[in-house]
Amino acid sequence: MAATDIARQVGEGCRTVPLAGHVGFDSLPDQLVNKSVSQGFCFNILCVGETGLGKSTLMDTLFNTKFEGEPATHTQPGVQLRSNTYDLQESNVGLKLTIVSTVGFGDQINKEDSYKPIVEFIDAQFEAYLQEELKIRRVLHTYHDSRIHVCLYFIAPTGHSLKSLDLVTMKKLDSKVNIIPIIAKADAISKSELTKFKIKITSELVSNGVQIYQFPTDDESVAEINGTMNENEAHCDFVKLREMLIRVNMEDLREQTHTRHYELYRRCKLEEMGFKDTDPDSKPFSLQETYEAKRNEFLGELQKKEEEMRQMFVQRVKEKEAELKEAEKELHEKFDRLKKLHQDEKKKLEDKKKSLDDEVNAFKQRKTAAELLQSQGSQAGGSQTLKRDKEKKNLGFL
């Protein structure tokens, strides 16, 4: 309805609704609180440290709960990450707590790559969340966010300086997770040694460029207590640690994980995939344009690969045809050689057969002649005998 029509109706005596002083959007914080409480919260802690530094004990004490878990040994062949999730309830607020422990960290002789399984685990959680974000149908409101919100790095109470393993590991992790260094079993050394040890640790972290989590001071309600925690190297009280970690700064840790560490991983990953916000001329580049450019690039590469495969296939076919022709030629040559050899052998056999036939015929002729001679000899012998008998008869008669 146009404003003139409204004015006309008002002028004709329509009832007007007077505006009240209270609108009601000041209840938005209450609405957010109620929604958050109904959905519950999640918090994921990564405990990094050598075996026997009290990681499990600290977790039990922090949340006033006895978490079940198998004790770790010093005989692990490599670093393994063990993750356990627990559903906790305090008042009417639910918390899905995930505790990830490094089993076997620092127990190997060669500790050069001890940090790699930890980095890979953190990146795997970021990748899982990114893949869920990139889906067409996302269910982030029910997705179990397994990204690490804080890394409690347990330092052995040597009283001297940080180990090389500690410095290397924290340097590899500081861009991926909020690191809070903790001196394990601090009651094992005196207060003066502990103070010197903290100062030494802080100095080594600064000199090696290791970025640890700084408690936020931009909020007036927590600025004073967080400023004290950031500047005072003498604090070591467990109650203060639980207060700062859980009661005061848990939401900031969750926010820092999403806005800083995850966004850095997401940006690097998308840049690797070819996505960007600006073109070479620094002009805005929309996601659709990036997709189209990447799609065209992919199709071009695909067509190029198809052409290369086709050329390769044609070349392979030609080579195979040449091989088959060569094999066929060899077979024909072999067949001709075998055929000639067969003919030669056949001729030899025929000649031999003819020779044998001639020998058989000659043998038969000689046999016939011998038989004839023998027969003639027998007849001559018979005539001589008859002649002698006749002569004997004649002599006897006389």
267: domain CATH number is 3.40.50.300
Distance CA 356, CA 367 (A): 16
pLDDT of residue 25: 83
pLDDT of residue 256: 94
For the stretch 149-207, pLDDT in tens is 999 999 988 877 888 899 999 999 999 999 999 888 777 777 888 888 888 998 999 99
User: In this structure, what token pair is assigned to residue 300?
Assistant: 């071009």
Question: Is 367 among the domain residues?
Answer: no
Question: Is 53 among the domain residues?
Answer: yes
Q: Does 69 lie in the same domain as 121?
A: yes
pLDDT of residue 235: 44
- 116-133 and 263-272 are packed helices; what angle lies between their axes, rounded to 10 degrees? 80
Contacts of residue 353, defined as CB under 8 A and 6 or more positions apart, other chains included, come to none
Least confident piece of the model among 81-95, 345-359, 371-385:
371-385
Q: Does 331 lie in the same domain as 189?
A: no
Distance CA 204, CA 181 (A): 12
Mean pLDDT of 323-338: 90
249 or 290: whose pLDDT is higher? 249
1 or 124: whose pLDDT is higher? 124
pLDDT of residue 369: 85
Q: 299-333: b or e for each residue (b if 16 or more CB lie within 10 Å)?
A: eeeeeeeeeeeeeeeeeeeeeeeeeeeeeeeeeee
Distance CA 106, CA 78 (A): 9
Question: Is 165 among the domain residues?
Answer: yes
Supply φ then ψ for residue 41, to 5 degrees: -125, 160
Q: Does 298 lie in the same domain as 260?
A: no
Answer whether 146's CB lies under 8 Å from 85's CB: no
pLDDT at residue 1 greater than cutoff 80: no
pLDDT of residue 262: 95
Q: Does 258 lie in the same domain as 318?
A: no
Question: Is 54 among the domain residues?
Answer: yes
Mean pLDDT of 253-269: 94
pLDDT of residue 89: 92
Q: Does 220 lie in the same domain as 201?
A: yes
Q: Does 187 lie in the same domain as 84?
A: yes
Mean pLDDT of 375-386: 74
Mean pLDDT of 212-217: 84
Mean pLDDT of 341-346: 90
- The residues facing 93 across adjacent strands are 90
Long-range contacts of 354-360 (CB under 8 A, 24+ apart): none
Q: Does 232 lie in the same domain as 129?
A: yes
pLDDT at residue 389 greater than cutoff 80: no
pLDDT at residue 137 greater than cutoff 70: yes
Total domains present in the chain: 2
Mean pLDDT of 213-233: 68
- Among residues 234, 255, 276, the one where a domain terminates is 276
Question: Is 391 among the domain residues?
Answer: no
Mean pLDDT of 27-48: 90
Mean pLDDT of 368-379: 82
Answer whether 41's CB lies under 8 Å from 87's CB: no
Q: Does 76 lie in the same domain as 216?
A: yes
Q: Does 312 lie in the same domain as 245?
A: no
Distance CA 79, CA 114 (A): 6
- Look up the domain containing 134 and give its range: 38-276
Mean pLDDT of 125-141: 89
For the stretch 47-96, pLDDT in tens is 998 888 888 888 988 888 888 777 666 667 788 899 999 999 998 899 99
Tally the residues of the chain: 398
Q: Does 174 lie in the same domain as 231?
A: yes
Mean pLDDT score across all residues of the chain = 83
Question: Is 205 among the domain residues?
Answer: yes
Question: Is 25 among the domain residues?
Answer: no
pLDDT of residue 179: 95
pLDDT of residue 96: 93
pLDDT of residue 233: 47
Contacts of residue 1, defined as CB under 8 A and 6 or more positions apart, other chains included, come to none
Residue 234 confidence class, pLDDT cut points 50, 70, 90: very low
Distance CA 180, CA 214 (A): 9
The torsion of the CA quartet 194, 196, 199, 203, rounded to 10 degrees, works out to: -120
Place of tokens 């959680």: 125
Q: Does 344 lie in the same domain as 247?
A: no
Question: Is 47 among the domain residues?
Answer: yes
Q: Is the whole model's pTM more than 0.85, yes or no?
A: no
Q: Does 253 lie in the same domain as 138?
A: yes
pLDDT of residue 101: 92
Answer whether 284's CB lies under 8 Å from 209's CB: no
